[in-house]
Amino acid sequence: MGYHKENLKEQLVKIAWDICEAESWQKINMRLVAQKAGVSPTAFYRHFKSKNDLRAELMRKGFQLIYEGRKDLNIGVNFAAYGAHVVRFGIQHPHIYDLMFGNNELNISLYPDLEALSAASFSGIVAGVRGRLPNQPERKVLLKAYNVWASTHGLVNILRHSNRTGEKAETLNWIESNLEEYLTMTTFG
């Protein structure tokens, strides 16, 4: 399958995304991506100076998906829906989620647009907390937002990695099926 030069960068990102989704970021190398695109590694490096540039692009795409899902939600009224959206993203895209939120060696400050998207994903939580805690000092809002953010990420890991047996399975299955209710209950209930 050949790609037109004008969309080669998009195709390289899609191929890398697909590899990451199926296996993990660690399985991606530039030669493999170039080979799957039917181009030389030199062509790959015309679009990405390093593997970190590709990593930043995959992370950017993940944050865009999270941000896009936020647009349809009235976060100030139902911010639990936003938390549930992030949890579902983590379950549906586990390797991309790990790339975005895991122990990342990427210096995100070198990619200002990625840094802004990352900040926007957290700002959804802040907006939701602010809506639930009107007239509270900013520090209290931020402390609660960090607590919610940490709980959301912890929940992703629990749902992805727990051995679901017996009563534990019943509870975790209920949580996964009722994310908005669970997040509302445990955050402000």
pLDDT digits (tens, 9 = 90+) for 18-41: 999 999 999 999 999 999 999 998
Q: In this model, does residue 66 exceed pLDDT 50?
A: yes
CB distance 32 to 46 below 8 Å:
no
Distance, CA of 30 to CA of 28 (rounded, Å): 7
Question: Averaged over 68-88, what is the pLDDT?
Answer: 76
Write down the pTM of the prediction.
Answer: 0.87
Look at residues 84, 80, 90, 86 and name the one whose alpha carbon lies nearest to residue 129: 80
